[in-house]
Amino acid sequence: AKPKKERTFVIAAVEFHRVETPFLIGVWIFFASIAKIGFHMAPRLSKMFPESCLLIFVGVLIGAILLSTHSVHVQPLTPDTFFLYMLPPIILDAGYFMPNRLFFDHLGTILLFAVVGTVFNTLTIGTSLWACGQTGMFGCPTPLLDMLLFGALISAVDPVAVLAVFEEIHVDEVLYIVVFGESLLNDAVTVVLYHMFEAYTEMGASRLMYTDFLAGFASFLVVAVGGTCIGVVWGFGTGLVTRFTNEVRVIEPIFIFVMAYLAYLNAEMFHMSGILAITFCGITMKNYVEANISHKSHTTIKYTMKMLSSSSETIIFMFLGVATVNNNHDWNTWFVLLTIVFCSVYRIIGVYIFSAVANKFRLHKLNTVEKFVMSYGGLRGAVAFALVLLIDPEVVHLQPMFVTTTIAVIYFTVFIQGITIKPLVKILNVKTGEKRKPTMNERIHERFMDHLMAGVEDILGKHGNHHIRDKFKRFDNRFIRPFLLRNYQGAEPKILETYSKLAMKDAIEYMQRNASTI
Amino acid sequence: MGNKSSLMLREEEIAQIQDETGFTPNQIERLYSRFTALDKNDCGTLSREDFLRIPELAINPLSERIVHSFFAESHDDRVNFLQFMKVLAHFRPIRKNRENRLNSREEKLRFAFSMYDLDSDGKISRDELLAILHMMVGVNISEEQLTSIAERTILEADTNNDQMISFEEFCRALERTDVEQKMSIRFLN
């Protein structure tokens, strides 16, 4: 028996378990940010490698230390932390700063790649792996449905990885929006295919009926359209709320973040696509919110959003590295190799087929170099990893092998493709673009051209892009803006906005140059 | 009463239009059927009223200018099919390795410029710009604000300090704009 300790008043005590969770989170964020500063202080390193590679590398190092010391047994990257806390800021940032015009101009191509392209990849990768499994080269039974489930999660291009790599290389805006738009919109397809094959696996292959496939197709429509609608409704809601915040300016940014997050959770609650919901929420709210809130709130929103998304991204890549180092790997050389080969080959084939289809309808034809960058930019990332962790090993016995393979594919795309894409873009002479604010002339003349083209389309009796945009703008100006905006300023808010921004910039420059005169 | 034979396109007419505008025979026939559909009096030419009868065009803020641009080359107040096609040819997409006649970047810009330049003196004056702004922005904006926007726009583009925008200055101001893309339409075959 232990001797009874005398109770005395303790001056100081260590009580770690009480603060453990928040403390660990804090330490993770701290290390990730320190690592990020480190790369920017080593310019040669960050010129050669994309940041995402270096972050994964740091993650692996930390993971190795943790494993060897057996100190912390937490798995930091769980599907729930990923989908509920780390993904939304990145997607909101993407949706809110989405160049709307560009996005909707290329929506047809983006949808073709995101929907048909992803289904194509899933089916081809799944069946090819299954066919190879039939030869017995993997040394384990490979049921078709399990392979299709794996195909569904591995074939989705990842918005986080694509953003992280493409932000650094500044390719031409058309190329950027097509790859990036695809990665955002394919979520609906991925979610549906994933849940569908998961349910089929649980039901067992023998009891599948064709109605189940029809139900799968119907659920795709529900997930995609439902997610989008939820996002748009919350977006309008945000516009409406900010109409009344002029007396309480300090809470303006809160509404943008909370309501977008609620849109995401709202969609996830109904098993709809949260990514689509928050993307469209950002796209919708932007126009109305920016007109309502103060200039300072807008700056706050902009920087908070950038900070949240870049730290989430940093943490995700580091966690991917940490999660790699553990003892439950099930390495299957043939399976890993073939998955990587199939992923790359079918990506290239898919891009070539679908861009040939898209070119039939496009004004700006996708050329060979662009097709190449598109197929090369199909990076896989943390969404695939989080999805593979969600698979129940009791139902799908190959789950450990899937996890290892997914990690291998992510490493392949992020490291090999991520590192080589920068030099390749230079060698192939891909047009590079830069973001900038429009001048007064550009704003007015481009608007003028839009009206002109809408007019020409009407003369031709053709209902193209310009015609639809014109119709929407007219509807927006008559029925939506008057309700959502505090002071509604006529039909061309963008011209005024550009004017006041330029005037403000001039004033600031004048003040700086002639500081002594004031 | 329409004379049916005159409403059909003859081979040599198609060839001539093809030669002058670069449209393919299929596109020409398609556009011709649109042309005859717009031509309510069956007289082989279009009047301003024919254009303004299109409901969407009538509410386009620039409808008056757009319609006007079709009449730039005609001497009376009617457009024939060739003139109609010549205007539309400006909006053909630019193809590499192919001859581009009316649809080069410069021609596209010149077309837009001439829509601003009402008195065709080769310069956009402050009043001409203001007129366009009035049409696009509408009534909710004060006159002073529009004037200052117009002045700012001219100041920004004007390099020779004549308070006007010449065609060269106009092109320079739109250097970074993808005019080839913005002023093109995919014509169906």
**Residue A51, Cβ neighbours under 10 Å: how many?**
22
> Is B60 part of the contact surface with chain A (CB cutoff 8 Å)?
yes
Range in A206-215, A247-256, A395-404 the model is least confident about: A206-215
In the predicted model, is pLDDT for residue B7 greater than 60?
no
> Across the interface, do A449 and B183 touch by the CB < 8 Å criterion?
yes
Rounded to a whole number, what is the distance in Å from the CA of B177 to chain A's nearest CA? Answer: 7
Residue B80 contacts by C-beta under 8 Å, 6 or more apart in sequence? B44, B45, B74
DSSP A450-462: HHHHHHHHHHHT-
CA A68 and chain centroid, separation:
34
Confidence band of A72 (pLDDT split at 50, 70, 90): low
> Is B139 part of the contact surface with chain A (CB cutoff 8 Å)?
yes
**What was the pLDDT predicted at A323?**
85
For residue B132, which residues of chain A lie inside 8 Å, CB to CB?
Answer: 444, 448
Q: Would B11-91 and B102-183 be classified into the same CATH topology? A: yes
**Residue B89, Cβ neighbours under 10 Å: how many?**
20
**What was the pLDDT predicted at B99?**
65
Instruction: Judge contact between A324 and A382, C-beta under 8 A.
Output: no
- Which chain B residue lies closest to A173 (C-alpha atoms)? B178
Give the closest of A452, A457, A490 to B62, CB-based. Answer: A452
Where helices occur in A252-293 by DSSP H, the ranges are 252-269, 274-292
Entry pTM: 0.87
**What was the pLDDT predicted at B5?**
39
Angle between helical axes of A51-69 and A295-324 (0-180°, round to 10)? 50
Q: How many CB pairs under 8 A join A and B?
A: 132
For residue A474, which residues of chain B lie inside 8 Å, CB to CB?
Answer: 59
% helix, strand, coil for chain A, step of 5: 75, 0, 20
Highest mean pLDDT among A23-27, A206-210, A324-328: A23-27
**What was the pLDDT predicted at B2?**
40
For residue B112, which residues of chain A lie inside 8 Å, CB to CB?
Answer: 445, 448-449, 452
Average pLDDT across chain A, whole number: 87
**How far is the C-alpha of A240 from the C-alpha of A483, rounded, in Å?**
7
Give the closest of B56, B91, B157 to A441, CB-based. Answer: B157
In this predicted model, what pLDDT tens digit does every residue of A415-468 receive, in sequence order?
Answer: 999 888 888 888 888 877 766 778 888 888 988 999 999 999 888 887 888 888
Query: Nearest-5° angle of CA A304, CA A308, CA A310?
Result: 115
**How far is the C-alpha of A466 from the C-alpha of A460, rounded, in Å?**
12
Confidence band of B1 (pLDDT split at 50, 70, 90): very low
> Across the interface, do A439 and B156 touch by the CB < 8 Å criterion?
yes
Record the tokens describing residue A395, joined without a space: 């139902």
Rounded to a whole number, what is the distance in Å from the CA of A219 to chain B's nearest CA? Answer: 35
**Residue A163, Cβ neighbours under 10 Å: how many?**
25
Buried b / exposed e over B125-142, threshold 16 CB at 10 Å, is: beebbbebbebbbeeebe
Q: Which element (helix H / strand E) includes A211?
A: helix A210-242
Buried b / exposed e over A79-117, threshold 16 CB at 10 Å, is: eebbbeebbbbbbbbbbbbbeeeebbbbeebbbbbbbeb
Give the closest of A451, A453, A460 to B34, CB-based. Answer: A460
Q: Decide: helix, strand or coil at residue A479.
A: helix
CA distances from A363 to A446, A465, B95 (A): 18, 11, 10
**What was the pLDDT predicted at A460?**
87
> Is B141 part of the contact surface with chain A (CB cutoff 8 Å)?
yes
Section B73-89 average pLDDT: 84
**What was the pLDDT predicted at B4?**
41
Highest mean pLDDT among A14-23, A195-204, A447-456: A447-456
Query: Nearest-5° angle of CA B118, CA B124, CA B129?
Result: 85
**What residue has token string 């894409």?**
A421
Complex ipTM above 0.90?
Answer: yes
**How far is the C-alpha of A165 from the C-alpha of A416, rounded, in Å?**
12
Section A10-18 average pLDDT: 83
> Is B147 part of the contact surface with chain A (CB cutoff 8 Å)?
no
For residue A461, which residues of chain B lie inside 8 Å, CB to CB?
Answer: 34, 37, 54
**How far is the C-alpha of A145 from the C-alpha of A194, rounded, in Å?**
11
Sorted by where each begins, the domain ranges of chain B are 11-91, 102-183
CATH topology of domain B11-91: Recoverin; domain 1 (1.10.238)
> Across the interface, do B56 and A467 touch by the CB < 8 Å criterion?
yes
Confidence band of B8 (pLDDT split at 50, 70, 90): low
- Which chain A residue lies closest to B176 (C-alpha atoms)? A442
Give the closest of A440, A451, A453 to B152, CB-based. Answer: A440
For residue B177, which residues of chain A lie inside 8 Å, CB to CB?
Answer: 442, 445-446
Q: Which of A360, A452, A478 to mutate to test the interface with B (most CBs of B within 10 A)?
A: A452
Rounded to a whole number, what is the distance in Å from the CA of A485 to chain B's nearest CA? Answer: 14
For residue A491, which residues of chain B lie inside 8 Å, CB to CB?
Answer: 61, 136-138, 140
Instruction: Judge contact between A277 and A19, C-beta under 8 A.
Output: no
In the predicted model, is pLDDT for residue A66 greater than 60?
yes
Q: Which of A450, A460, A474 to mutate to test the interface with B (most CBs of B within 10 A)?
A: A460
In the predicted model, is pLDDT for residue B6 greater than 50?
no
Q: Which residues pair with A385 in a beta bridge?
A: none
Q: Residue B69's closest CA among A459, A127, A136?
A: A459
Rounded to a whole number, what is the distance in Å from the CA of A300 to chain B's nearest CA? Answer: 28
Rounded to a whole number, what is the distance in Å from the CA of A507 to chain B's nearest CA? Answer: 13
Confidence band of A240 (pLDDT split at 50, 70, 90): very high
The correct answer on CATH 1.10.10.60 for the domain covering B102-183 is: no
> Is B72 part of the contact surface with chain A (CB cutoff 8 Å)?
no
**What was the pLDDT predicted at A3?**
60
Q: Which of A458, A459, A476 to mutate to test the interface with B (most CBs of B within 10 A)?
A: A459
